[in-house]
Amino acid sequence: MKTKLLLLSLLVVSLGYSQSLPINFESSTVTSSNFINFDGGTSVVVANPSSTGINLSDSVGRMIRDSGQIWAGSKITLSSNLSFSVLTKISMKVYTSAPIGTLVKFKLESSTGSGSAEVNAVTTVTGAWETLEWIFAGTPNTFNEIVLMFDFGNLGNGSASSTFYFDDIAQVVGPPAPSLLSLPLTFQTGEVSSDFLDFSGAVGSVIPNPYVTGINTSSTVGEIIRYGGDIWAGSKILLATPISFATNWIISMKIYTTAPIGTRLKLELEGASGIITLDALTTQSGAWETITWNFHNQTGTFDRMAFLFDFGVVGNGTASSTFLFDDVEQLSGPALPTPLPATLPIDFESSVVSSDFRNFFGGYSTVIPNPQMIGTNTSSTVGKFVRSGGQSWAQSKLILSDSMDFSTKSSISMKVYTDAPIGTLLKLKVESTGSGAANEKNVLTTVSGAWETYEWDFAGDPPVYNVLTFMLGYGTPNTASPTATYFIDDIQQTVPGGTLSLDNLTENLTIQVYPNPSAEIIYINSFKEEISTIALYDILGQQVANESPNSQKGRINVSELPNGIYIANISMKNSSKTKSIKLFVEH
């Protein structure tokens, strides 16, 4: 549903006049009515609030983000398509009091709805004007809309840190447009360093092979070094002929790195039909090896290939952040095994294997030896779900052999281990391969760094669902890090009575909460034990408040929080259990 809403909001037809770059907001050419606002972003033209430094102009654009969605923003339609054959970079002056490092996404779209291109930048100052730049070298000249998404990935709250001023949007000189390359890519036929499109802290180049050994004795190779930047830093090439996977679905390349064995290598393919990604892990350190990515069953054509080596980690420019690669080619290979239906209960000890998972939007699930044989789960094998790039709704699915009957056992329980913070959202969705019906429930984690059993209550649902969809850590960063990794086990239907879900929380009679809803102070009193801590989380699992009453009476100030639903995790002083209560903020 989120995907549909986003597409609808971004394809609104402009009722204002089309514009052209540069845009400086100094005349009546661009007014507040030219902005197409979506999903909680509101832009207008206002007087410059800080006519200092690099921006002395009188008028600027202003966007305020207030609730809505994490991708809230505004769009301007241009009078003609942008061409990046000469001017390959877009620059814009930005002023905000948001923290340094706030993500600003600049996106290009077409009013015909065909494709998009987006580049990220981050702020480097706060409380002052600065010029941000986005490199679009190699982008086709099919886009006539610019989309601004400030603080992308976070919900705005209408405050000063969710307010952004911008000015002087222009195309400027940037790096040369790259050449179109063809597979196989051997770096022996005229490829040069400028053919790489670098992003987010990675630098790609063509160099003499420093390790003419083992399986690779060629004289020239590609190199990507990651210097700081973002966890998704990488380099991209443009392909002369779009590739498809109708017959040859293996992408193969030789890799050399001294990074640790198990380093994540993400390969991303882009095209008019969308973006697809696959991960592979290194099995060698300090030697050339051949890595393959199996894109069997992937449809569409793709004319861009991005290399995101050591995805999930910020590079430091050292040898362990340096990757050599060569002989990038498309090959025939084995088809992926057909996923087999699973039967509840699922304990990963025998019947379910990695190929039974269907992975989407950056979610990757496998069956592995239990790396955390502690506490309530000492079984030898578990499932592993990793959020690795992709979307906030990254997911993996298991098809079941039979539909689930919730008439007597209305809950689905599952053991989960994660290092994600307490209060992280675990979304479980049930679907039907026949009717397309679906329902989803949420719980919040109550522990971190330990196994815990959670329950999702589907009482009253019809016996039509035969798919389990895991969206663990929903809405949190897809960094492939320990806090974006979830181990799962012992999935079964149960009678309700364990973990309280967000959709069916009931107050424990030993806890008194009032007023609820509230616009200012919510009081939480315990009739039996002293309250140690009260941690408040929003619906995305982000902690927004924390109190330590150390008494039987506690309180939470919600006057600065946006309207919405929150979860208070209440830890008692003499108990290992945490009580979860739903709170409502209404101003």
Per-residue model confidence as pLDDT tens for the chain (587 residues):
334 334 334 333 334 456 789 999 997 778 899 999 999 999 999 999 999 999 999 999 999 999 888 889 999 999 999 999 889 999 999 999 999 989 999 999 998 876 788 888 889 999 999 999 998 888 888 899 999 999 998 889 999 999 999 999 999 998 888 899 999 999 999 999 999 988 889 999 999 999 999 999 999 999 999 998 889 999 999 999 999 999 999 999 999 999 999 999 999 998 877 789 999 999 999 999 999 999 999 999 999 999 999 999 999 999 999 999 999 999 999 999 999 999 999 999 988 999 999 999 899 999 999 999 999 999 999 999 999 988 889 999 999 999 999 999 999 999 999 999 988 999 999 999 988 899 999 999 989 999 999 999 999 999 999 999 999 999 888 999 999 999 999 999 998 764 444 444 333 446 778 787 788 888 888 877 888 899 888 766 778 899 999 888 888 998 888 887 788 888 887 766 667 777 888 77
- pLDDT score, position 139: 85
User: In sequence order, which ranges of 254-316 are alpha helices (DSSP H)?
Assistant: none
Domains of the chain and CATH, by start: 2-172 (2.60.120.260), 180-331 (2.60.120.430), 354-494 (2.60.120.430), 511-585 (2.60.40.3080)
- pLDDT score, position 585: 83
Phi, psi at residue 68, to the nearest 5°? 80, -125
Q: Taking a C-beta distance cutoff of 8 angstroms, is the pair 204, 223 a contact?
A: yes
Tokens 């609808």 identify what position?
8
> Residue-wise over 539-553: b if at least 16 C-beta within 10 A, else e?
bbbbebbebebeebe
Tokens for 137? Answer: 């070298």
3-class DSSP state of 112: coil
Q: Taking a C-beta distance cutoff of 8 angstroms, is the pair 580, 505 a contact?
A: yes
Question: Quick one: how many helices (H) and strands (E) in the chain?
Answer: 1, 40
Cα distances from 461 to residues 194, 405, 413, 427, 433, in angstroms, run 57, 8, 16, 17, 16
Q: Taking a C-beta distance cutoff of 8 angstroms, is the pair 274, 300 a contact?
A: yes
